[in-house]
Amino acid sequence: APDYNFFREISRRRVECHTGDKSNCAVHPLGAAAASKDNEYLMGYLEKRTHRSQKWQKRWFVLSECRKVLYYFYGPESIKPCAAIPLEDVEVVGLVNTPR
């Protein structure tokens, strides 16, 4: 299994968050309190589509529920995220699984 201790390392760094418009860049510190029951991460591989070639790329995503940010990395061993997507204005709704 990969070593997830890299979060301790990146929590000491600042990450540049690009929202698509280069004039709209922001730098967000990842540092926060140590992981606890209220500060857990969901992580795993997802595929994202590139805006240039419209091809799908497998990337490692990390959702920080307490910070309301979705980070993605090239892989689980990566230290620096490719991007951080702020989710503070996103509402989570339940999904009902209906038969087709």
Q: Which of 43, 33, 55, 51 is nearest to 81 (CA)?
A: 43
Eight-class DSSP state of 79? S
The overall pTM is greater than 0.75: no
CATH number reported for the structural domain that contains residue 20 in this entry = 2.30.29.30
In a domain, residue 44? The reply is: yes
In a domain, residue 72? The reply is: yes
Q: Are 86 and 67 in contact (CB under 8 A)?
A: no
Q: Are 59 and 74 in contact (CB under 8 A)?
A: yes
Grade residue 68 by pLDDT with cuts at 50, 70 and 90: confident
What's the confidence (pLDDT) of residue 54?
Answer: 84
Looking at the structure of the chain, the number of domains it has is: 1
In a domain, residue 66? The reply is: yes
Q: What's the residue count for the chain?
A: 100
Grade residue 39 by pLDDT with cuts at 50, 70 and 90: low
The larger pLDDT score, comparing residue 82 to residue 10, is at 82
The pLDDT of 41-70, averaged and rounded, is 87
Task: Find the domain containing 81 and state its range.
Answer: 6-31+40-86
Alpha carbons 53 and 18: distance in angstroms, whole number: 19
